[in-house]
Each structure stands twice: as C-alpha cells, then as structure tokens.
Structure 1
Amino acid sequence: MLASSAAIAQVNTAGSADSTAIEELIVTAQKREQRTLDVPISLTAYSGDFLDEVGVQEFEELSLFVPGFEVQNQSPNNPGFVMRGITSDDGGSTVEPRVSVFQDGVSISKSRGSYIELFDNARIEIAKGPQSTLFGRSALIGAVNIVQNKADPSGFAAAAKFEAGNFAYRGIEAMVNVPLSSTFAVRFAGRIKKRDGFVENLLGGRDFNSTDTAAYRAVLNWQPNESLDADLIFNYEENNPSGTSFKSLTYLPTETLTGRVLGDLGRNSGAALASSDGFAGGRDLGLERTTWGVTGLVGYKINETLQLSSISAYRRFKSLEIFDADGFSLPLFVFAEDARGEQYSQEFRINYDSGERLSAFAGVGYFHEDGSQAVPLQYNERVFAARTTPALAGLLGFTAPNVGSLDAINSAAALSTLKLVHRETFQNYGRTTSYDVFADATYKITDQFEVSAGIRYSNDDKRSGFRGTLDNGGSVLTSGSAANAANPATARGIFLQSTPGGLPQYQSFSDSGVTYRVVGRYAVSNDISLFAAYSRGRRPEVLSPAAPAAPQGNVRFTEVAAEIVDSYEAGAKTQWLDRRLSLEGSVYHFSYTNFQTSIQTAPGVFQTISAGDASSTGFEGQVNWKPTGQLTFFGTYGYNNGRFDNGRFEGNSFRLSPDHTASFGLKVVVPVWEGDLTFLPTYTWQSRVFFDNDNDIPALQSTGDRVQDEVQGAYGLMNMRVSYQPTDANWRVEAFASNLFDREYIKDAGNTGGAFGIPTFIAGEPRYFGASFSIKY
C-alpha cells in the first residue's frame, strides 16, 4: 500500500557504510529545511553523491529512477518532460510549460533552454502534482529543482574524473573549492564530454545522435556574519551534437543522385540524411546551442523567527538546429529551428518559523520573458511533385519502398519548370511579463496533526506575434507559373502564406488566475507519516498565432483558454527496522479542463488547441532497504492511467506516457584487495508508449497513413557499474555499461515527416560502456 516519493539513501562513496541505517536527505521543497518523511507531498529527492554513483549525468537518465517522471531527449534542443503523463515539450515562444524546471529556485522551463547537464549538485528534488504555490505559476503538474553545490569558506576541496568508452567517448569533470578568507569562497566546476554518433550516416560525414557538450559553473559565496549568506552563481553550457537520426520506414535509404540502395528499413539502422543546396548558410545537420545565466541568492536572518530571501536572475539561450526530417536522402525538404529566449526574474520571500505551532512564508515575484522561434523550410519542388503526383511517382521510381534517383527526377521534362529550391520561413514571438503574490502556512493543530494551505495569484501581460515570408518567391507548384510565384500579392507557399510585407503582426492580452493547495498530515509516529492533499493548478491562457489563410493576409490569432487541473492525492511515508527499510507511496487522481495540446497544421507548423477534458489516475511507490552495511536495494514503481475524456482524442492515452514504469537497483560492497569492490546493477522498465495524442490511429490521420506503427512496445534496460576503491584512499576506478544487453528501442516516432504520411523514427541509445578514474581531495 506504500509507494511514490522518497529519497534513496545517500551513498558513502568512500566504501562500506558505517551503519545499516538509511541516511536521510534534508530538502527545501516547502521553502524550509525538512526531512523528506515530513514533507506532505509526493517528492522524490536524490543526493548528488547518489546520482554520481549510479551514473546519472542528464535528465533522461534521472527520469529512469523517478516514478511518474519521464524525459525524452531527441536532442538537447528538443526535450520532452513528462510528469504523471502530462508532457511539456513545445518549443513555441507563446507556449507555457506544464512541468517547471528550476536551478536554485530560478525557472529555466522554456523548452529549448531547459535541458542541461547535471553535475556538481547537492541534490535534485522532483515534486509531483500541482505545485504552483511552492514553485511558481508554471508548475501545473510538477516541478524539478536542481540545488547546486555552493562555495564553502570552511575548507579547500577538489575532485576530478576522467572517462573513456566506446563510440570514441571521452569525458572530463572537475571541481575546486577555494576559501579566500573565513567569510568568502569561490567554487569552479565543469564537465566536457564527447561521443560519436551511434546511428551510421550512410551518406558520409558525422554519424547521427552524437554528444558534444561543455558545461561550466562559477560560484561565489560571502558569509560576513551569522545573519547574512549570499551566493553569486554563473552557469554556461554549449552543445554541438550531430544531426538527429530521423529514419524513414517508408522509403529505403539511398545514394542521392543514383538511387542506389545503401541500407534497410530498420528503425535503428543507418540513415541517409543531409542538408542541401546552401540551406542555412551551408550548415550541416546538427545543433549549435548555448545557454547561460547569472543568479544571485541572498538570505538574511532578521531574528530568530524571521528570514528574508531574495532570488535575482538573468538568463539567455540561443539555439540553431538543422534537421532533415523526411527520413531519406532526396532533398524533399530540410528544416531549421532558430530559437532564442531572454528572461529576468526577481523574487522576495519572508519566512516565519517560531519553532512552535506555526510556520509560514509569503512573497512577491516578477518574471519577464522575451522569446522567438524561427523555422526556415526548404523544398525541392521537383522531388515534392515526383512523390505526391501518382502519375509521376511510378514513372520516376518513387513507389515505396523505392525512392528513385535525383538524376532521373531532374531530367524529367514534366518537372523542368519547377524550382530546385523553394524557401519559406515562419517565426513566432512571445513576450510575457508576470507578477505573482503568494503565501503558504503550516499550522500544527496537535503534536501529530498539521494542516498546510497555500495560495498564489498571478497576473500576466502577454504579447504574441507571427511572421511568414517566402524567402525566394512563391512556389511554382501552388502559384501556377513563375510569374505568379514572383508576384508578392499572389505568390503562395507550399504550406505557409506570407504576412503583409513579410513583417510580423502582434496581438496583446492579459490573463490572471489563482492557484492553491490544502494539505493535511498526520504523524502516526516519528517514523510514519500520512498525508492527503487537494490542489489546483493552472496553465495560463495563451494566444496561439497561425499563418494567414491567403498571401499577404492577416495573422490568425486564437485564444486558448487556461488549462485547469484539480488534483486529489493521499500517501504514506514510513521507516522500519531501525531505519533500515523505507517505504513511501501515494495514490492520486487528476481532472483537467481545457487540456491544451498542439496539432500540426503544416509540416513544422504547430498550433495550440484545447483538446477538451482529460483525467489521470495513478499510483507511485518507492522502497529502499539496507539490510547490512554492504548491501542496499532500491526500487520504484509508477502506474498512470491518463486518458482523454472527450474531444478530438477521446479515449486515447497521453503521448510519451507509459501506463507502467519500474526501476530496481542493488548495491553490493565486497571487501577485497585491501579495499572495497562495489557492484551496482540497475534495471529500468516501461510499458507501451505512444508518441502522439492521436495514438497513430488511422482514423485520426489526414495524410493517408494507415499503419499504426508509431509506438514503442514495453522494454527494459539493464545497466551495470563495478568500482574499486582502496581503504583510506582518495581515488577510485570504475567500469560501466548502459543498455548492457543492447536492447533496440525508439524514443520518438511520427515527427515532421508524419505530416506528409511518411513518419520518421528516432533510435534509442545502444549499449554504451567504458571506464573511469576519479580522485578527490
């Protein structure tokens, strides 16, 4: 009966533990320090030491050990965060996130800037359910807070790790903490890692899905007296991986000019993809992304009961990703996404805690965000016509699974008047200025029973914008002739119509709303805690822009009502056997009104709509058992039955949301060779998952796709880590492997190609293995 959120024991990285008791993490999810057992919400928290030990470096790996939390990583520029079945992954600048991601209380939730390296962290807290009163306006269904290690004036410390493995993997991670006085310290940390792609590029060049990341952090800490504690944090990250492996299962990968077959229709085998004809300044497929930010944290103890906190932040991201989303070698189309964002935020909060019956906090917040998302599209009209015109398709060899050759298409007289290169661009703009007022209080009615209640009021001033351009004239295919295609008044795009003069059009609006929570907690004993909660979350109203219906027409703006979720939850957190066994769990039910989702109105063009009502019922559980100092077992299980209740997708499962997930791990420490040999196998499993809310049901397809193959069946992944550390030594060697049995799976399907009836598939990572050497001072 017990399940859900818990902190797995912090691990003694120096060897065997001194005690069989499970060490407890102290968390700050309720804006004050508490044992996880005393926090009456579903909360999973892991120490930085534990994450290092199991090899977690990214959100996608973290999610495998968190019930109710999934992360899909197409690329660092295109992640999907899924909390209890609800996905937050839309890159549009007008879209509000559902799952909030924070660094030390600062929102980094915008999709294209949210996926970051996880290194040198004190802990990570994942709070499930509506958490707006605790974490902010966008925490509709949950929040992830990364608590980074701060500089420490009390002593010098340093650490380094060197890794190498297959696919030419090489990585280095380092940290140094330097006290400059008894009140001032600096800390530097960084990670660089590179790995070749694991999907072969059949046309030559870099293989797809590589890793190329550099992340750095500098932290200053100043503690002039017992009342004041201030941190200044600078984060910077750069990502330059190769292109994403959008693989077609409709057409064979071929050599572009001759049509010679180069590979097969396997979901995980090599792909024949490339950019074309000088697109995006001649850039190759891949990602160029930078994110950076500066955060100021100030805590001032006014007296024994009051403390003032300030969080000030500035952050920017810029990304350019080039992708060949049709899945085969001919230049049917190629896309780019140029996403940019800038934000400022300020929060002041005052905490009250007398150590008796009442503890509370209240505050105000300011948030300003300005962003844009430009998507250039390039089409070869001759290839487009050869594929979409039945009379020509057979003549030119464009019948699945054959692709035909570019030579044959270019020499076809019937296609000679069509453009080799046609370019269109759409760009959306979003600006939000938000003000928040919030308060939360916990009152102990008795020594065992307490009630918590919180409320947040948010007011948003928003501006949405859209621009559409035909970058080298209209399409001959749609305008009828070269003359019409060159006339701005009548020139048409293939899927996009231009705005007047190619200029953006804007529309502004305001939105406000209230979110709240009520929680009751009963402490049966110091080691058993029961809780029940009701909370309301709100995803703010958005103004969704769409391209004009005709050339030089006005942008179409559609108001999408605020998404409301009501959450009901009950759970238990317990410790047994002298704190050697920890069991935690919860059951929950969500009800959504005006469920916001995105539909594809044209290749690469998405629009936010309301999909009606939806609901989700689930259970989450976690166990941690340490029978001896040399043996630890941990496991998680999550069940989520999320379905659309009515509307376009009635009865369908939520996208990227398996009904069942589980993870298991075992740590065995064997004293040997005057040291400790540690074995740490872990296994993660999930049930079937769909990649779109339409569940690839043929009746819901408008492209003629009649095969329901955009789905990943149930699968599990086995990981293994084996390390050796001499007694009283400060170094360790380790061997590691992920996906040990080389299980083939996909992490996404459909994608942009799905809008043409030629869905593409993105392979999951194969077996990775390697070794590392680490040292600490």
Structure 2
Amino acid sequence: MLRLVCKRSVMAAAITAMYVTPATVMAQGAALEEVIVTAEKREQSLQDVPISIVALNSEALATQGIDELDDLSTNIPNLYVNNFNNDPVAVRLFIRGIGQNDVQLTQDPSVALYLDGVYIGTTFGAGFEGVDLERIEVLRGPQGTLYGRNATGGAVNLITRRANPEQFEFHQTFTAGNLDLFKSRTFINVPLGDRFAAKVGYIMTDRDGYVENTGVGEDFGTEDRESAVIDLHWDATDTLVFDYRYETAEIADAGRMEQSLIAGQEQELPPGVPDLSFFTTPGTVSDDRQDKVESLWQNGPTDLDINAHTLHVDWEWGDVFTLRSITAQRDMESSVQAIVLPDWRVNLIPGGGSVSTMINDIEFEQFSQEFQLLGSWDNVELVTGLYYYDDEGTHDSSGSATLGLPGPEFDITFTDNTSMAVFAQATWSPEALDSRWHFTLGGRYSDDEREAFRRNTRSADFAESAPDGASYKRDFSNFNPSLTVAWDVSDDANVYAKVVSGYKSGGTSTRSANADLFRAGFDEEDVLSYELGLKADFFSHRLRFNGALFYMDIDGSQTSIQTGSTAGERDFLPVDGNVIQGVEMELTAAISENLIGSFNYGYLDTSVGEDFVDSAAGVFYLTDRYSYAPENSVSAALDYRRDLANGTVHARLGFSYQDETVSSVNELDLTDQDDRSIWDASLGWSGISLGSLAGEASVMLWGKNLTDEEYVIVSAASWGFVGSNYTGTFGDPRTYGVTLTWDY
C-alpha cells in the first residue's frame, strides 16, 4: 500500500481547497439536494452509505443524455463500459479495472448488473434503453455480502418507476436528431381504485448507421429497437404490497464497424479473413475512423428478443421487520449472421458454396428467487437473506465451411448453472458512543455448480480430441466476510474504513482451442479489498465532497488469452498476485442559486503479479497493465437553472477525459487505445404550463461528442496462419438533436 500513500495528497488537497476557495458558495442560499439510494437493500441518504457510490436520478439521466449503459462511462470515473467487439447487444462493464474481457455464457461477469433487485446473468442484451428508469446506482469495489454473485469489481443497480395508485400520469417524449434518429417513449399510469394501479409503456428507437456501407449488407451502427413494459401495483393491505413487472424487447441493430487500425490494411473483409488479392478490391488504407466502406461481407442485423417477469412482495412484520420476496424469470434469444462475399460461389470441390457463413446464435434463460429479512430496532440494522439462481444457455457459432468446402461446420455449447447463497449483514451503532460510531459485520456463503457440453467440428484440434464432444462439470463454494467501521465526525461529515472480499466462480471457455482445455476449465477469482472513505457536506450543504482510497489484491484473475492458431480460440488462464489501487472523488458545489458545478476524478494504478503464465496451452507473456483501466479519468460539468414565469430554463456543459488504455493483459493480444476527450451540452426549457387540462411540456436541444472526437472503444489484436492484425471499433461521431416532452 506504500505506492498509494502519495495519492492521499490528492484528497487532502481537495479538502484544503474547500476551506480556501468557497467564497462564492458561502454567499448564496442554495443547498444541494439529498440523494436517496437503496445500495444496502434499504433506503438511505447517499451520504450515510459507507460505499464508494454514484447515483443519478431521472432528471440527471435526461439532462446528461444517458439512455444506454455505455453513456455512463463519460460521467463516472473508474467505470468503463463498451461493447464486445462489434456486437451491439453484448456489453462489458469494468469497475476499478475489474471486468469481463470476453463475454461468454460459461464465464460470469465481474460486475453485477441488477434490474429492480434482479441479477442479470449475462450482459448479452443488457445495453438497451428499454426501461423507465428512476435511478441508476453504481457501487464501486467488491460487493460480496449483499450482492455476492459476481460482484468482484462492483455492481450497477437499475431502478425503474413503479406503478402509482395515487394519480393518473401520462408521459410522452419524442426525440429527433442527425443520422435520422427518431425515438419515442410513452408511459401511462392509471390508478384502479385506492390500492391498485397499472402502468404501461412503449419505447422505440430508429437510427441510421454512422459508417455507410456501399457494398453488401446494412450500414454499420444502425439501431432498430422496440420495447414494452407492464407494471402492476397492489396494496393488498397497509403492510402487504405486490409489484409485478413484465418487459419485452426486440432489437435489430447492425454491429459497429470493426475496422483495421493499421494504415494500408484492406477494410472490405471482416477481421480474421485472409487478405488475399482475389477476395478484395482496392480499399481504404487509412487508420482513421471510416465514414464509408465497401464491405464484401453481408452484415446482417443482430436480432435480439427479451422477455422478463418480476414479482416483488413486501410484507411489513410489525414495527421491526420487513420480509421481502423477489421472484424473476428472464429469457433472451440473440442471432447474428454474416456472409463473406454472398454473391460469390467458391467450388474448390463439388458441393462448394459461399466463401464463408458465420452464425452466432445464443439462447439464455434464467430463474431466481431471493428472500430478504430486513430489521431495524434500537441501534441495530439487519439485512439477511436466502438466494437461489439457475440458468440454461446455448451458444451456436456454426456456419458453412470456409472457402466453399462441403457440409456445415458447427461449434455448439450447452450450459447449465446453479447458484445458492445465504447472507447477512448487521450494523450496530452503540448509544455509549452517542450512536456516532457504526460497526458493520457481514458475510455470504455461496455454492455454485457449473456444467457445460461442447461439440466443435470447426477446430481440427478439438474435433480430433473429442469427436463426440466434451463435457465440463465443477462445483465451487466460498465464504465472503466484510467489516466496516464508520464514524460520524459531525452531522454533515463521516469517515469509514472497510475490508471486504469478493468471489467469482470458475468455469470454462466456449472458445477453448482443444477439448482438454475445455474439460479443465479455470478456477475461481478472489478479491480482497481495503478502502478508506470520506463523505462530507460543507457550508450548509452548499459544497459536497465524497472520496475514497482503495487497495485490492486479486488472485486467480480470469485472464482471456488466445491459445489457438486463430483469434477466436481463447481460454481463461489464472493469474495470481494482481494489485489494483487508486482514488475516487466527487466534488459538487452550489456556486450560486442557479449554478451548480461538479468535478469527478478517478485514478487507477494496476499491476499484474506474474510476468508469464505457464499452462497446458503454452507459455504466454503478460504486460504489467490491466485492460480497460485508464490511469486517470475525469468528468466535470456546469449546470445552470433559472425559474421563469412559466417553467424553468436549464443549460448544461459537460466534459470527460480518459487516459489511454490497453485491450489485453496478454502481450500477443496487446493493443493500445489513445486517450479521449468528450464534450457534451444541452439547453432546455421545462415545466411549461399548458393549462390545467393540458399538463406541462418541455423542449431540450442536446449534443454529444461536440468536437467529433475519433476514439476507439474496443480493440483487438489477432495472430495466426494469416499473420497479425490490429482492429478496433470507434465510438459514435458527433450526434445532436431535439427532445420534446409532454407530461400530464
């Protein structure tokens, strides 16, 4: 922890600055609002929660233009979100440098994603904006006790608006922008008596791609999305409440352009296809972001269907306890197909066909049941519970034989996973210490069973070693304790120290180079984290500072490494002794009655504990940097609001910066991604009264990436029989538009 000591001066300097530069803040009467979160399964002020957490309410989400998970990266330091290669529906989340570099059904994410308290078992299909969000909470650092399952890096909570029996509500939003963007959001809330309410919603998005495809297939980056929700709320008694939610979504996005980042490389063929002269025509030779490309492969849309049911039951048991049940079922189907040179026939031998057809079909269904018992009496707060989860999945990456050889090739994997856990966390605030000291002890015991079966004829090594397929089955169990000590220095400031552990079960790889590696799989990943934090409001709540120092030891880090002769053959190899340490801080100031400024900073210092991995797949040399873990990340904003005779005018200017990152810990896969600076802005007029019978309206002009920064969000290097290549996917170019809203 010695290297982290020097970073404490950053936090100290920020605290000192509060006392020497707040004149404009002290002169005004404005105060920052209290933020309520449910990070510890009960409602609390964000300032009282001993966790490094960022919460964004619905107003902040709208003003900042956040309607997808990957929008969060520009606003929350030490959070990195990107898509898996060019797949528009597979999202990768990294918090404090810990994340899932390769999205597979046989490996769990390292950042837990929750929707209304329900764990989402795979990030395939997790990046769409099909929910009516009330709040997003990002919890940084291991959350092993209350969240447990695969929260070694942290957790992201998505909280939606429930149906409301108190009043009728209608909400309609239309958004139009460049790239022929059109988006509509409709929500209707209808009370049905004093105790029952129903809410229905429909959301659709249509947008052209930002890379024109003059060849075959669709433009790259197009969006075509629809989703609908039904919420039912029933106050059965004064102490018994039911909330049911059904959600369905259909997505037909085309993937982003995954282009070569080496000047002189052809761009017509998908990465990994041999760059042979008789397959290509003179093409793009620039390594800049492409606006137009003549693709020789038919880029079909990714068809995604989601259906999800959730039932919440809350029963207040006397004045002390609340018993909560969360039951959820979620099904997902995803299909994407690409055909190389669809109009060509290659007949090297009779029975030949297209150059190559690539299919990637995924089916996934999950069920979970959680019981929570929440108690509050005297100076004790208690959360305890039981958790059950199971999922089944199929990943079919079959296709026709390459170069027109006869017969289909197939690579199909079946998965079946079960997880059970028991957990408890208690906080004691002794009266003998004026209830200003808070001691929290928690623990979670997890038991995981993982099974998989794979048959693969596309890989000669795999087919030869397991002509009838290969099976994998392993059990994992772990106990994760946590200890937190917090002290209320004053009514407006507190400090905390915590030690917490995190665990992610082992598994296997759907891309293993051979059957032996598939059968062996990989072990669990363990994280032990130490954290010091400060949360404080100053000058009558006009200035707020939240900061944290952390140090994490990671053993068994599940590192994705290319182990075969092609880029698609990868395994997860364990790396021990990794260390991640850093700083997080959020500073918010009510500069005047109408102007609020914010500055957020994250620092990461990552080191890999081993120089190489010596495994059954070979020896692989490692870098000393974690992937997708920028050393410095910054976001800052100015928000201005002024009340008018009719409504409120508001303007926002935001800036975010991320240092350069690397894409992999493996030297052979290593690619650099340059730093990036993004400017966003919005200007709006809200709360415009349309009369007592017509509700209110608002209008907002917005722009993202105003300087049209060219930046890579994900990159990859591949090597094999056709040599090496370096590819990447760029983020969206400049986008802008107008949003009209009517509320009644």
Specify the TM-score bucket, using the shorter chain as the normaliser.
0.7 to 0.9
Supply the distance in 2 between the matched residues of 1:680 and 1:652 (Cα, whole angstroms).
39
Q: What CA distance in whole angstroms lies between the structure 2 residues aligned with 1:596 and 1:744?
A: 31
The equivalent residue for 2:618 is none
Cα distance change on mapping 1:166 and 1:154 into 2, 3 Å: same
Compared with structure 1, are the counterparts of its residues 205 and 426 closer, same or farther at alpha carbon in structure 2 (3 Å cutoff)?
A: closer
Specify the code of the residue in structure 2 equivalent to 1:607. Answer: D
SS in 1 for 2:67: coil
Contact 2:470–2:519 under 8 Å retained in 1 = no
Of the three residues 95, 99, 112, the one matched with 1:87 is 99
Residue 564 of structure 1 corresponds to 526
Alignment-derived partner of residue 500 in structure 2: 535
Q: Which residue of structure 1 lines up, in the alignment, with residue 24 of structure 2? A: none
The residue that corresponds to 1:614 in the other structure is: 578
The one of 696, 707, 723 equivalent to 1:741 is 707
Give the TM-score, by structure 1 length. 0.83
Residue of structure 2 equivalent to 1:268: 289
Q: 1:285 maps to what in 2?
A: 300
2:392 match: 370
> Residue 419 of structure 2 aligns to which amino acid in structure 1?
S
Matches within 5 A, 1:228-627: 228-248=240-260, 249=262, 250-253=264-267, 259-269=280-290, 270-275=292-297, 284-323=299-338, 335-354=358-377, 356-378=378-400, 380-381=402-403, 419=404, 423-445=408-430, 446=433, 447-469=435-457, 493=459, 497=463, 503-544=468-509, 549=514, 556-600=518-562, 601=564, 602-627=566-591
Give the match's secondary structure for 1:497: helix
Distance change >3 Å, CA 224–CA 254, structure 1 → 2? closer
Residue by residue, what CA displacement relative to the aligned partner does 1:321-362 show, whole Å, maximum 9, x if unpaired? 235799xx99875533211211111011111101x2111121
Equivalents in 2 of 1:457, 1:468: separation in Å?
A: 36
Give the equivalent residue in structure 1 for 2:148. Answer: 136
Amino acid at match of 1:737: G
Shift of 1:509: 2.3
Alpha-carbon offset, residue 257 of structure 1? 6.9
**Structure 1 residues 319 and 212, CA gap change in structure 2 (3 angstroms):** same
| Cα 1:193/1:522, change in 2 over 3 Å | same
1:556–1:95 distance in 2 versus 1, CA, 3 Å: closer
Give the C-alpha shift of residue 45 in structure 1: 1.0
Q: How far off its partner does 1:23 sit?
A: 1.1
Q: Which residue of 2 aligns with 1:36?
A: 46
Counterparts in 2 of 1:544 and 1:257: CA distance versus 1, 3 Å: closer
Q: Please state whether the residue corresponding to 2:61 is helix, strand or coil.
A: helix
2:16 corresponds to which residue?
none
Which deviates further from its counterpart, 539-548 or 558-567? 539-548
1:711 aligns with one of 658, 672, 697: 672
Aligned-residue offset at 1:56: 0.4
Counterpart residue number, 1:194: 206
| Change in CA separation of 1:229 and 1:325 when aligned onto 2, cut-off 3 Å | farther
> What is the Cα-based RMSD across aligned positions, in Å?
2.7
Q: Give the structure 2 partner of residue 391 of structure 1.
A: none
Deviation, structure 1 residue 517: 0.8
CA shift, 1:575, in A, is 0.6
Gaps of 5+ in 2: 1-9, 13-27, 270-276, 347-353, 613-620, 691-695
1:680 equivalent in structure 2: 652
Quote the offset at 1:767 in angstroms. 0.4
Q: Find the residue that maps to 1:233 and give its secondary structure.
A: strand
Q: Contact 2:99 / 2:153 at 8 angstroms: preserved in 1?
A: no
Distance 1:672 1:755 in 2: 67
CA contact (8 A) 2:689 2:697 kept: no
Distance in 2, matches of 1:209 and 1:262, equals 20
* Distance in 2 (alpha carbons) for counterparts of 1:42 and 1:238: 35
Partners of 1:578 and 1:238 in 2: CA distance: 48
Contact 1:140–1:537 under 8 Å retained in 2: yes
Is the 1:195–1:211 Cα contact (8 Å) retained in structure 2?
yes
Matches within 5 A, 1:759-774: 759-774=726-741
Give the aligned length. 679
Match of 1:27 among 37, 42, 64: 37
Instruction: Please tell me whether the aligned partners of residues 658 and 675 of structure 2 are also in contact (alpha carbons under 8 angstroms).
Output: yes
Secondary structure class of the residue paired with 1:173:
strand
The answer for the alignment partner of 1:481 in structure 2 is none
2:5 alignment partner in structure 1? none
Structure-2 change in CA distance of 1:81 and 1:421 (3 Å)? farther
Amino acid at match of 1:271: V
Distance apart, 1:262 and its partner CA: 4.1
Distance 2:340 2:438 in 1: 54
Instruction: Give the whole-Å Cα distance in 2 for the aligned partners of 1:349 and 1:241.
Output: 38
- 2:683 maps to amino acid: V
- Deviation string 1:32-56 (CA, Å, 9 cap, x unpaired) is 1110111011111111221112110
Residue 273 of structure 2 is matched in structure 1 by none
What is residue 124 of structure 1 aligned with on the other side?
Answer: 136
Equivalent residues of 1:467, 1:498 under 8 A apart = no
Q: Write out per-residue CA displacement over residues 282-327 of structure 1, whole angstroms, 9 at most, x where no aligned residue.
A: xx4220111221000000001000110000000111111235799x
Distance 2:662 2:402 in 1: 31
Q: Alpha-carbon deviations, 1:124-156, whole Å to 9, x = none?
A: 111111112111321112011111100010111
Say which SS state the counterpart of residue 557 (structure 1) adopts.
helix
Please give the alpha-carbon distance, in whole angstroms, between the structure 2 residues aligned to 1:559 and 1:34.
41
- Percent of residue pairs bearing the same amino acid type: 25
Residue in structure 2 matched with residue 690 of structure 1 by the alignment: 662
CA contact (8 A) 1:267 1:761 kept: no
**Structure 1 residue 738: Cα displacement:** 0.6
Residue 32 of structure 2 aligns to a residue whose secondary structure is coil
Pair 290,197 (structure 1): closer, same or farther in 2 beyond 3 Å: same
Task: Write the distance in 2 (CA, Å) between the matches of 1:468 and 1:542.
Answer: 18
* Residue of structure 2 equivalent to 1:637: 601
Distance 1:65 1:547 in 2: 36
Indicate the larger mover: 610-619 or 311-320: 610-619
**Cα distance change of structure 1 residues 726 and 544 upon mapping to structure 2, 3 Å threshold:** closer
SS of the residue aligned with 1:518?
strand
Aligned equivalents of 2:512, 2:267: Cα separation in 1: 33
Shift in Å at residue 674 of structure 1?
Answer: 5.5
Structure 1 unpaired stretches of 5+: 4-17, 277-283, 382-418, 471-492, 702-707
The letter for the 2-side match of 1:166 is: N
Alpha carbons 1:572, 1:586 under 8 Å: kept: yes
Q: CA deviation at 1:572?
A: 0.3
- Counterpart of 1:394 in structure 2 is none
* Separation (CA, whole Å) in 1 of partners of 2:573 and 2:641: 53
Equivalent residue of 1:111, what SS?
coil
TM-score, normalized by length of structure 2?
0.86
Report SS of the residue matched to 2:410: strand
Structure 1 counterpart of 2:228 = 216
